[in-house]
Structure 1
Amino acid sequence: MSFRTNTAIDYVEDVSPGTGALPPRAWYASSDAASLSLNGDWRFRLSGTADAEDDSFAEPGYDAGDWAEVSVPGHWVLQGHGAPIYTNHLYPFPVDPPRVPTENPTGDHLRVFDLPSDWPSDGGAVLRFDGVESCARLWLNGTDLGEFKGSRLPHEFAVGHLLKPSGNVLAVRVHQWSAGSYLEDQDQWWLPGIFRDVTLLHRPAGAVLDFFVHASYDHVSGEGTLKVDSDVDGRVTVPALDIDVATGEPVTVVVEPWTAETPKLYDGVLVTEGERVPLRIGFRTVVLEDGRIKVNGKAVLFKGVNRHEWHPEKGRALDLETMRADVLLMKRHNINAVRTSHYPPHPAFLDLCDEYGLWVIDECDLETHGFTEQAWRDNPVDDDRWTPALLDRAARMVERDKNHPSVVLWSLGNEAGTGRGLTAMAEWIHGRDASRLVHYEGDINCRDTDVYSRMYASHAEVEQIGRGLDGGTLKRRELPFILCEYAHAMGNGPGGLADYQRLFESYERLQGGFVWEWIDHGIKDERYGYAYGGDFGEELHDGNFVCDGLVFPDRTPSPGLAEFKKVIEPVAFTGDGSDGTVRVTNRQDFADLSAFAFEWSYQVDGETVESGSLSVPTLTPGESADVKLPEPPADNRGGEAQWTVRAVLAADTPWGPKDHPVAWGQFPVTARVSPSVAATAGPVAGERVITLGPASFDARTGALRTIGGVEVNDLRLDVWRAPTDNDDGASWQDDICYSLLWRKFGLHRMRHRLDAVELGDDALTVRTRVAPAAWEVGLATVYRWTSDGDRVKLTVSVAPEGDWSALPLPRLGIRFGLDAGADLVRWFGGGPGEAYPDTKAASMLGRWESTVDGLQTPYVRPQENGARADVRWAEIGGLRIEGDPEFFFGARRWTTEQLDSAEHRTDLTPGERVWVSLDHGQHGIGTASCGPGPLPQYHLRAEPAEFSFVFSEIS
């Protein structure tokens, strides 16, 4: 006996995009046609399978009084129904396209609504869904409207004939898994639900259907040409340009062009017989010319980020103010471009990009990354059965977003291999919109694309590409290059940003890149602070790989964002300050420097002595000028002196207030004098204590006990750090997984052998060997203490023993414990935030102050953090510490070992000590969590080293 499957749900596994939806069209807000938001509280019922419940809930009169409620827009798994799942690329269900599991969480949504009393009685109406994951079927007043897939894309249905004044019943059945899920394997949380707006739109007779704003710019003549194609005839007016023309008729006038730096928009109106639609028109022309992406005749340099939509409580259900917060943060950190990874964003985000000025690569809702596990066998993009779905997704993106001047490239999708379906998408897009270029990273030979794009190429390879020595097809060699993903911003990092930027600015073929990514996708959670993959009991997950952003889940900027802002700043200051001049370069592509004011300050030992405004010419893009600094103050106090020059906003702008800092540079004038201590006091041996000046030591071990009245615990050489995500590397590149190497050789469990305690006439010397169990490598370490009676100096000498050639050190320095009451920290060195050897661009030399807790960087997964670089001196817990040479300084309320073992922030509990780290060196950070490791110059090699610290009690 055999049983027939439920044909009523066959649409779930159908490879087609769906049935019943209207053709895609431009997204816009009408000036006068009525609309009704259906966002809000909906009745909700969750079933475990796609066919667990019948369709009777869609009928008017159905009693859903015992159902739960969920908010729409929203995801039901973030509202107490089921749980999120995070995978990077593995499908969380068996790969058997287009089949999906029987266990298919299905959410029935029910909303009863009345029409407003003034709802027009004439014309039709459209019901629009802006985003539903992953497959939906819908009914209105018991009538089946159809079903659709394409989670991050709009779908509209004609419903005017079904509406009634009151008691309208809208029923939506949403399936978590469908054939469409195979096309949406996008390195993010799997979050089912109606997560974007649901809107009822009145469509008057003679209303606008679809329209395409063509607004090109001739950079030679300064003229723009406007033509608005409309499915319904009408007129277009642009008052500021005295334009009043029929649709389809071109008109050419003198205009100000739109660019990301100068986002000039003209207000216009499209008027048909039944509707008025506001237009925001930006004139610009995008071409591929001379092997470059040019806008308005100039090659652009993308200083971009990849942006997933994310909110730590609402998932991908973002409101307008959250989207605006993203754009404002980007603009205030000098970012000029966004790749909408890996799907079209909410359309309101593109409105903001138009308004504030960001270049956009608009990416289609397509990724089939999981098929890489079977060498791309059965990949939907190379299967003709799926091509209609691919073309539907391409059309829904292009038609929705085609009127945004910020969108300069269309992207076919991400990590979907190659195939006939992608070729069909590219051909359709090229045919529909010749005013933009087409991007797709997976098209390595650029058969279908207009730009050579790569992910995570090393600095060396990027330089080869920049020099045109990378080979490839003739077409590829003639195309511009971008890194659509680079500098993986996971945890502490990314390192090497400045080195990439130098390459971008050195070779014309390199047109910049997009850091991966904008925001950590942590989910707010009482247990962990922020949860990540595996915290919800997922069968498969990729841990905290979902937390790899330049901002933390609450949108607090990370040190990586501060570093990126500095590296890509639009004004460069160069020189050494010794000749009294500084070279100022305008690094923008289009704008002069008139938006900025410039100022100087003169510091001695980190304190500002004098300051003032600086006169800088209004330089054109790419132009430089040598600017004269004022005469240095007569009294420089004999200390370390420097100039600091800044560029700030000269006036309020839409994205930043007057005096908002944009760029800065520092230039030394006089060098630092290294601290010195004359060895005039000798060690004195007591019964159990050795005294040397203000310090006391254990007579048997030579261990430091006190400096004046300050107790010091367990001072010793330290080579271990809690590995960063970039230290941990990635599973596919074990060769640069430094933490595995460090743990293999036991650097996290070093033993300290005491060899000798020697009392000389003017020094206390303690000889030790620091080495791991099971290996013959070690570090012969000598601590030499001297004093002038008031201060005590420690000189540490380290000599490697054995073969360390393949084993860089995580860190090299000393650490010790102070009483838990130590809290306030002052220092002269780099700040205000953390810095490491390849993340120091944003570290500004000055005097800084913080609490111990304020020194910590709250990475979602705890790891090494909080070091301040180039520190001359620091004060903490009653001690003043001066270094020779400069050092990395850190302090925290838990040990490195406790930090290493923590999985979440809530695992860290303050202890009885504040642990202070004074590091002579740190290993670089790199970006090996999904990219290259630190460059060789940032490796901390095990070599002979000597460094010293001078300690004194603060009176």
Structure 2
Amino acid sequence: MPPYYEDLSPGTGRRPPRAAFASDAGRLDLSGTWLFRLSPTAEGAPLDFLGPGDPGPGFTELPVPSHWVLHGHGTPRYTNTAYPFPIDPPHVPDENPTGDHRLVFHLPAGWRGPGSVLRFEGVDSCFRVWLNGRSLGTSKGSRLPAEFDAGAALRPGANVLAVRVHRWSSGSYLEDQDMWWLPGIFREVTLLERPEGGIGDFFVHAGFDPTTGRGTLRVDTDAPALLTVPELGVADLPPGRELVLPAVEPWTAETPRRYEARLATPAECVTLHLGFRTVSIEGGLLRVNGTPLLLRGVNRHEHDPDHGRALSPATMREDLLLMKRHNVNAVRTSHYPPHPAFLDLCDELGMWVVDECDIETHGFIHAGWRGNPADDPAWEPMLLDRMRRMVERDKNHPSVIVWSLGNESHHGRNFGVLAEWTRARDPGRPLHYERDRSYRHSDFYSLMYAPVAEVERIGRREEEAPPETAGDPALEERRRALPFLLCEYAHAMGNGPGSLAAYQRAFEAHPRLQGGFVWEWIDHGFRRRTADGREYFAYGGDFGDHPHGGNFCIDGLVFPDRTPSPGLTELKKVFQPLAMELSGDRLRLTNRHAFADLSHLRLSWTLEDEGVPVAGGGLPAPAVPPGQAAEVPMPRLPATAGEGLLTVRAELAADQPWAPAGHEVAWEQFPVSPAPAAAPAPPSAGARRRGGEVLLGGAVFDARTGLLRALGPLRLRGPRLDVWRAPTDNDRGMGPHSVARDWRRAGLDRMEHRTEAVEPGPGGLRVHTRVAAAGFERALRVRYSWSAHGDALRLAVHVLPEGPWEELPLPRLGVGLELPAEFGHVRWFGRGPGEAYPDSSKAARVGLFDSSVAGLQTPYVVPQENGHRAEVRWAEFRGPCRLRVEGEGHFGFTARRWTAADLDAAAHPTDLVERDRLFVNLDHAQHGLGSASCGPGPLPEHRLEPAETRFALLFRALPAESAG
């Protein structure tokens, strides 16, 4: 017989799964400081800690809940798809770290011991439990609850709870979910009174009929419990009887109306919150209360930078508040059921939830899917057990609208078993599973990382049939009738993702496209410090773990400490539930909510002249019904002397549970008057040689290279053509999809400049150069045309590609220069306040902004191209004097104290060492971001293809005292 941690049993001695709930029966929280000892193997771990005497040697203190590898006992390990042990199911290596946990606790006075239950909310990956030396049983299924009868083993006074946890088990083959492998008792352990005649389990069915406004209410219980809902006048509703209520307010994620209820027997009372809602798929669309949904979703792993998956309720609430404040309305619990408190919060605050089973066998892809448990009947009990435990635990949450059978486990017979059982147990929720492309077990057509063009074809129902259904007309007809979800898209790794707005336009244009879930919510980085105390976040390989998935776990919309990234700011703008269009003096408002009208919002407007506010006020905010539009009149706007921009904001009119009054929900910006055209002034001076220099107005150039050395009192280097950027994670891509690899192969990271001619003359200075990489004939011929115009120096740049560039885009196209280190502040008129790139710029408004150089940087966990400010009209770099740069047309800039090569070489921000100068890029264009770290690259319109290009900039050196 194999040991219990290698057999195919989901557990022994456990009670049947049931709903998660709290009651007035006794509850003893066993969280706190336990004793802990780690053994390197399972077979060699002694059983000398079970009894009332002193445990054997080697025990130290450990908090529970926790992961022992985060407290100095062993190593966290991160893999994406590869198992961290040989593929040899169901066996695991002899080296199987085993953690023994021991707690002595005392029963409270009056505790009713008979019937008591010991409940574990989550233990990774397999455990055995003893109480006072008596074995209660074993369990697998890390992110699911396990309960054991404890009454017979309890004693008055001191009780010894002993738990042996194995890092690896047969269950680990089902838990390859692109995350850190973190063993331990990481969720709460509780002792529960179970009084005789109490409530073991219940299933609340609370439906809503949108046509009549009626609610239906029924509760199924395993005890003769009576349901009371005071607010609805419901008293003592017996189990199994359906009650029709003439009028109820429905629960939705936008309007999470709940009714407090009591379910009681003479021995026990449970307080619960009812949400009336009905989920259906009708007419090929996912509907709640008869209304089709558009899911603006994120995938959420559980992660904390200090505690791993041992999350506090405050952290869970913080996640949901951040999501709600950034217009996220849906969560896919990738790739396992979350802590049950998270679903309580989703019910309370309002969030659509796809609850996903704790199943992923992705590592079998490296074995050609041979031996995949999803298709092996011997694994059926373990897989079905996981589905049952999820459904039974979470069945009473109105926020849970879809059950997911698991993730990235290929296909097989066992998914049919899961689907059949779930549909029988809970026909009121549809099922999702993406990796079986026959979709025979799924109620959704679903894909990951499909390009925008393919998503649009699906929306038009013009997609090609997948091979799995192409030969089966009935199966293909069923698939084509299913609603579509992108269960993962827009890989938010590092700087990105790009194309969020394009995806959202497709979703909003085609009803069949019911949205999707961005991958993913949070970077899975662990907080660490350098020897000198500087903080950074570690990822795969930083702990000496091998094999590892590197920084592929750093792919979230928030940084590990939950600081929003620019990607989340972009997502908020793209997801905003209110569209605004200006036509003449009328503002058209389109309500993109599915259930809420606009009465909870207030509108305001601001008119800016060259970024300076000159007028503003409020606007009437009509209660536009969901999905409808209305127009409001705009006041007469005063004329502006310069470029005029109107910004309209929609804010919360009153406090909401998830944000205070004044929180900005949506905004739009409209140009109302263009900047006045500046007449080009004739050159005011010619250029002349003087020794090794060329003089032009107040500028000094190197006579050999043609590079600018000084502009008035300002000493600088450059500018000269620059096409390189430190690759983003999405530039690096995945597998064959790596534009960064193509760039390096083409030598774009090591371009050399050869000056062909330096030509001073009456009209100014012309410099001809050829820019190319060693070993290649392709080049960029560049002509710099300098001219003096009073106190301004104009640079016109002409770039002409030469040679076989083929399909190779450029990382960037612009000029780079270096300023003295004393320059530490930037003020600009353009998009801001945050960074923006061609396919991620919706969240950046045009305005007047200023920042320190440090504040311009985005501290991505892995350093890469960041901090680009877009559509800049002018920028001033401030130090002992000011360098003002104006564009003839818009330009972009970055300013940092390290080079692109420094960024490229750094593994963590703490690797970056400030240099003795400021490096400035003035960009005509940048390549888009895309999400090719796990998905498509930039859209064609956001690729920076080499082409003949002209752009011009104006430079002025101004005294510091005139800043303002």
State the Cα deviation string for residues 92-124 of structure 1 (Å, max 9, x = none): 1110100110010110111111112x3423642
Change (3 A) 1:66 1:540: closer
Aligned partners of 1:938, 1:621: CA distance in 2, in Å?
34
Aligned residue among 289, 301, 317 for 1:296 = 289
SS of corresponding position for 2:116: strand
Between 48-57 and 927-936, the greater mean CA deviation after superposition: 48-57
1:549-568 pair list within 5 angstroms: 549-568=556-575
Deviation at 1:825, TM superposition (A): 1.1
Identify which of 471, 488, 492 aligns with 1:489: 492
- The answer to whether structure 1 residue 24 and structure 2 residue 17 are counterparts is yes
Q: In the alignment, residue 486 of structure 2 is paired with which amino acid?
A: L
Partners of 1:519 and 1:553 within 8 A in 2:
yes
Whether 1:430 and 2:434 are equivalent positions in the alignment is no
CA distance in 1, matches of 2:698, 2:553: 51
* 2:85 is equivalent to residue 93 of structure 1: yes
For 1:381, the aligned partner's letter is A
User: What letter is aligned with 2:368?
Assistant: A
Tell me which of 464, 477, 483 is aligned to 1:474. 477
Deviations 1:56-115 (A, max 9, x none): 211221335751111111100111011111110101111010011001011011111111
Q: Counterpart in 1 of 2:885?
A: 881
**Please, which of 677, 686, 702 is the counterpart of residue 682 of structure 1?**
686
CA distance in 1, matches of 2:677, 2:97: 67
After superposition, residues 149-168 of structure 1 pair within 5 angstroms as: 149-168=140-159
Partner of 2:528: 525
Alignment match, 1:508 = 511
1:262 counterpart (247, 255, 264) = 255
Encode CA deviations 1:193-246: one digit per residue, 9 max, x unaligned: 000000111111211100001000000000111111110112111111111112
Q: Look up the equivalent residue of 2:700 and give its one-letter code.
A: S
Contact 1:494–1:925 (8 Å) recurs in 2:
yes
Displacement of 1:415: 0.4
1:724-777, Cα deviation, whole Å (9 max, x unpaired): 01001101xx1x310011000100000000111111102111111111111111
Q: SS in structure 1 opposite 2:407?
A: coil
In the alignment, what sits opposite 2:962?
A: none
Partner secondary structure for residue 392 of structure 2: helix
Secondary structure at the residue paired with 1:943?
Answer: coil
Do residues 701 (structure 1) and 701 (structure 2) align?
no
User: How far apart in 2 are the matches of 1:127 and 1:361?
Assistant: 28
CA distance, structure 1, for counterparts of residue 588 and residue 635 of structure 2: 14
User: For each residue in 1:660-702, what CA deviation from the matched residue of structure 2 results, as whole angstroms up to 9, or x when unmatched?
Assistant: 0011111111122466453112224323332222322123322
- Which SS does the other structure have where 2:461 is aligned? coil
- Counterpart for residue 755 of structure 1: 756
- How far the C-alpha of 1:475 sits from its partner, in A, is 0.7
Higher deviation after alignment, 467-476 or 865-874: 467-476
Structure 1 position 794 matched with structure 2 position 795:
yes
Code of the residue aligned with 2:921 in structure 1: it is: S
Q: 567, 570, 582: which is aligned to 2:577?
A: 570
CA–CA separation in structure 2 for the residues paired with 1:502 and 1:324: 30
Render the CA deviation track for 1:875-918: whole Å, top value 9, x for unaligned.
11321111122011110110011111111111101110111111
What secondary structure, in the 3-state scheme, does the structure 2 residue paired with 1:881 have?
strand
Distance in 2 of aligned mates of 1:954 and 1:412: 65
For residues 935 and 122 of structure 1, the distance between their equivalents in structure 2, rounded to whole angstroms, comes to: 65
Instruction: Name the SS for the 1:906 alignment partner.
Output: helix
Question: Displacement, 1:819?
Answer: 1.2
Alignment RMSD, CA only?
1.2
Give per-residue Cα distances to partners, 1:260-317, cap 9 Å, x unaligned: 1000011011011211101110000000100000000110000000000000010000
1:412 alignment partner, one of 405, 413, 434: 405
Matched ranges for 1:825-836 at <5 A: 825-836=826-837
Per the alignment, residue 539 of structure 1 pairs with: 546
Match of 1:390 in 2: 383
Q: Is the 8 A contact 1:677 1:787 kept in 2?
A: no
Residue 629 of structure 1: how far off its partner (Å): 1.4
Residue 350 (structure 2) pairs with residue 357 (structure 1): yes
Question: Are positions 1:926 and 2:930 aligned together?
Answer: yes
Is residue 103 from structure 1 mapped to residue 95 from structure 2 by the alignment? yes
Alignment of 1:40 with 2:32, yes or no, is: yes
Alpha-carbon distance in structure 1 between the residues aligned to 2:681 and 2:152: 91
**SS where residue 315 of structure 1 aligns?**
coil
Q: Secondary structure at the match of 2:193?
A: strand
Q: Which residue, out of 690, 712, 716, partners 1:712? A: 716
Counterparts of residues 44-59 of structure 1 (less than 5 Å): 44-59=36-51
Residue 380 in structure 1 maps to residue 373 in structure 2: yes
Q: Find the residue that maps to 2:646 and give its secondary structure.
A: strand
User: Does the Cα contact within 8 Å between 1:677 and 1:793 map onto a contact in 2?
Assistant: no
Could you tell me whether the CA contact under 8 Å between 1:34 and 1:119 is conserved in 2?
no
Aligned to 1:447: 440
Write the letter of the residue equivalent to 1:512. Answer: G
SS of 1:10 mapped into structure 2: coil
1:694 to 1:677, Cα distance in 2 relative to 1, 3 A: farther
Separation in 1 of the partners of 2:871 and 2:590? 26
Task: Structure 2: state its 5+ residue gaps.
Answer: 466-475, 960-964
Provide the rounded CA distance (Å) in 1 between the counterparts of 2:813 and 2:632: 41
| SS of residue matched to 2:904 | helix
| Alignment map for 1:10-409 (pairs within 5 Å) | 10-30=3-23, 32-64=24-56, 66-116=58-108, 118-121=109-112, 123-244=114-235, 245-253=237-245, 254-409=247-402
Determine the structure 2 residue equivalent to 1:613. 618
**Is the CA contact (8 Å cut-off) linking 2:336 and 2:406 kept in structure 1?**
yes
**Structure 2 match to 1:4:** none
What secondary structure, in the 3-state scheme, does the structure 1 residue paired with 2:589 have? strand
Q: Distance in 1 between matches of 2:565 and 2:399?
A: 26
- Corresponding residue of 2:628: 623
Matched, 1:741 2:742: yes
Aligned counterparts of 1:804 and 1:626: Cα–Cα separation in 2: 50
The answer to whether the 8 A contact 1:43-1:64 is kept is: no
SS in 1 for 2:682: coil
Amino acid at match of 2:479: R
In structure 2, what residue type is equivalent to 1:264? Answer: R
State the distance in 1 between where 2:360 and 2:250 align.
35
CA contact (8 A) 2:125 2:165 kept: yes
SS of the aligned residue for 1:56 comes to: coil
Partners of 2:600 and 2:56 lie apart in 1 by 59
Q: Is the 8 A contact 2:17 2:388 kept in 1?
A: yes
- Kept after mapping to 2: 8 A contact 1:112/1:169: yes
Contact 2:81 2:178 in 1 (8 A): yes
Question: Match of 1:701, as an amino acid?
Answer: T
For residues 664-675 of structure 1, the aligned pairs below 5 Å read: 664-673=667-676
Given candidates 933, 940, 943, the residue that maps to 1:939 is: 943
Determine the C-alpha separation between the residues in 2 that align with 1:29 and 1:825: 56
Name the counterpart of 1:603: 608
3-state SS, counterpart of residue 431 of structure 1: helix
Identity %: 57
- Partner Cα distance (2:553, 2:504) in 1: 25
SS in 2 for 1:502: helix
- In the alignment, structure 1 segments of 5+ residues that lack a partner are 1-6
Contact 1:471–1:477 (Cα < 8 Å) also in 2? no
Q: Quote the Cα distance in structure 2 between the aligned partners of 1:405 and 1:369.
A: 30
Under a length normalisation based on structure 2, what TM-score does the superposition of the two structures give?
A: 0.96
